[in-house]
Amino acid sequence: MAGEHVLIVDDEPNIRLLLERLCRREGYEAVTAENGAAAMRCLELHEPDLCIIDLRLPDTDGIQILRRVKERYPDCEVIILTAYADLSTAVQALRLGAYDYLQKPVQDIGTIINTLARALERQRLARDNVRLLQGLQEANRELEQRRRQQLQMIAYIGQAMSGALNGREVSRVLVRAILDAVDCDAAAVLVLRQSAEPGPWALIGGRRALTPEAARQLVEAMNTRLPPHLRCAADGVCLELFPGGAQEEADSGNWPAMEVLVLEVRGDAEGVVAMARHAHEPWTEETLRLFHVLATQGGTALANARLFARTRELATRDGVTGIYNHRHFFELLENEISRSERHNLPLAVIMLDIDRGAFDDVASRGVGLKAINDTFGHQAGDALLRDVAGYLESTVRRADSIARYGGDEFVILAPQTSRDDALTLARRVRQSLGRAEFHVAGTAIRLTASVGVSVFQPGTGDTAVTLVRRADQGLYLAKEQGGDRECLIESPQ
């Protein structure tokens, strides 16, 4: 549907012009504002269907405009424009009701068009839901009370699902809502795997505890409703059943009446939802309509939960290596210090810096990361950093966390680790790295590292900053002593 009003707020004329032309080409009415004050005036004069807001404006920030938009026009969709450094603020914007964010500089025209279309599609869907709920309110008198209860339930469930931040929370709310709102004996959600996410998995619930056979019947029925290329192997679906119950009281399945819907948002299948019962009577139109509304809300909530997870992942991961970044490491360290204080346990910080590498065929030739970048290009250097990060992740203990601190420096957080254990761990990691073989531009290379160690003891007053500073001092001491060694700096207390 064309004719929707779009407000574009950005202080860069080229971006405003690009977005305005795209909107008009797609049939939308576009209004532009170069700063916060102009945006506020536009909001007084026009009710937008969609706002595209830059986070960084000369006279205010995009968050303030987002708040104003949501206060004045709650159903207006908002898309945030953000630079890489603003990802944490983009997460805040999503929490405040923004639909999505676009990263600047804006280059992929197709992504812009699709994002606008998805946002307006969700708005149209939400308005359709409102009209459906209004229709329920206008029903005849003898159904008025029951339909009012349905309205309240849908609103409550919609709020609960939209507030859930991961797929399992959304699925639990959806299954519970179907069991509460619909005359059925079992309900289930099958969530598909996307990219690196775990899955596929299914959450299944019934009015009584279900046997594995009953759960399998539901999963098979949901699986057959998917397009062939999205179907899951029967033994590849992780099942979660609730509520529990004694096995002799369990429901063994046999569902003569079953309704299955694909959870689809803008052509992308998020999963499948099903309801089933033992009675042979067909579902009423009212029941099917209610089930469809719940499924629609569930699909949108699952898509939003995935978007939130991806955004959070971008904010915590290093862009080159994929391991935790510097900022998130300090968050983990501060949390671990609090836990160590509560339980009176030590912890260690181990900082590691790649100090040289030697090509196998020229043993006397020392090569550092800068030389690799200068000789073979930054792509080769980045590939080596990724390989080193992956190797370190496979070398440390499962409870440890590893992050890229900067350049070719890595830092390891080792909970519940004493002084002697920290030195042992640092030595093992260093020696293991020295024995590993890496490749740069098809040539084998071996690396050595200087390692600094510091240990937190409860009650000393150490902070995350002082712990990392001591580990850094140990690292430089190791370098001064020739590298390829570990040095521990003790607490002065």
Q: Which residues pair with 5 in a beta bridge?
A: 29
Q: Which residues pair with 9 in a beta bridge?
A: 33, 53
Verify that 334 and 302 share a domain, yes or no.
Answer: no
Distance CA 108, CA 116 (A): 13
Nearest Cα residue to 99 out of 33, 32, 49, 34: 49
Question: What is the pLDDT, as a whole number, of residue 291?
Answer: 85
Verify that 273 and 400 share a domain, yes or no.
Answer: no
CATH of the domain at 53: 3.40.50.2300
Verify that 339 and 468 share a domain, yes or no.
Answer: yes
Distance CA 298, CA 208 (A): 23
For 393: left if phi > 0, alpha if psi spans -120 to 50, otherwise beta; the answer is alpha
One-character DSSP codes across 449-476: EEEEEEEE-TTS---HHHHHHHHHHHHH
- The residue among 106, 122, 138 that closes a domain is 122
Residue 320: inside a domain, yes or no?
no
Terminal CA-CA length for the chain: 70
Question: Could you identify the residue written with the tokens 């996307």?
Answer: 194
Report phi then psi at 88, rounded to 5.
Answer: -65, -35
Number of domains the chain contains = 3
Verify that 335 and 473 share a domain, yes or no.
Answer: yes
Amino acid making up residue 449: A
Distance CA 247, CA 253 (A): 13
Cis peptide before 48 (omega within 30 of 0): no
Verify that 397 and 428 share a domain, yes or no.
Answer: yes
Verify that 108 and 171 share a domain, yes or no.
Answer: no
Verify that 382 and 455 share a domain, yes or no.
Answer: yes
18 near 63, Cβ under 8 Å? no
**According to DSSP H, which parts of 48-166 are helical?**
62-72, 87-95, 109-137, 141-163
Domain that holds residue 74: 5-122
Residue 131: inside a domain, yes or no?
no
Verify that 206 and 153 share a domain, yes or no.
Answer: yes
Q: Is 466 exposed, middle or buried (0-12, 13-18, 19+ CB in 10 A)?
A: middle
Structure token pair of residue 448: 């050595």
Question: What averages of pLDDT result for each successive group of 10 residues across the chain (493 residues)?
Answer: 84 90 90 93 90 91 90 90 71 82 79 86 80 63 54 56 65 82 85 63 83 83 81 76 57 78 76 86 84 81 73 74 86 90 92 68 48 76 87 88 89 93 93 89 85 92 91 93 91 74
CATH of the domain at 239: 3.30.450.40
Question: Could you identify the residue written with the tokens 């359709």?
Answer: 128
Q: How many Cβ atoms sit within 10 Å of the Cβ of residue 448?
A: 18
Verify that 158 and 307 share a domain, yes or no.
Answer: yes
Residue 32: inside a domain, yes or no?
yes
Rg (alpha carbons) of the chain, rounded to whole number: 28
Amino acid making up residue 459: G
Distance CA 385, CA 375 (A): 15
CA 292 from centroid of its chain's CA atoms: 27
Nearest Cα residue to 302 out of 227, 201, 438, 429: 201
CATH of the domain at 409: 3.30.70.270
Verify that 333 and 481 share a domain, yes or no.
Answer: yes
Structure token pair of residue 183: 């005359």
Residue 48, SS3?
coil
Residue 140: inside a domain, yes or no?
no
Cis peptide before 200 (omega within 30 of 0): yes
Verify that 227 and 357 share a domain, yes or no.
Answer: no
Residue 463: inside a domain, yes or no?
yes
Report phi then psi at 408, rounded to 5.
Answer: -110, 30
Residue 138: inside a domain, yes or no?
no
Task: Please list, in sequence order, all residues whose beta carbon lies within 8 angstroms of the beta carbon of residue 47, skipping any fewer than 6 positions away.
Answer: 5, 73, 76
Question: What is the pLDDT, as a whole number, of residue 189?
Answer: 86
Structure token pair of residue 30: 């576009």
Residue 233: inside a domain, yes or no?
yes
Question: Could you identify the residue written with the tokens 């609090």?
Answer: 338
Q: At what angle do helices 109-137 and 13-25 cross, to 10 degrees?
A: 60
pTM greater than 0.95 (yes/no): no
Verify that 283 and 399 share a domain, yes or no.
Answer: no
Residue 452: inside a domain, yes or no?
yes
Residue 59, SS3?
coil
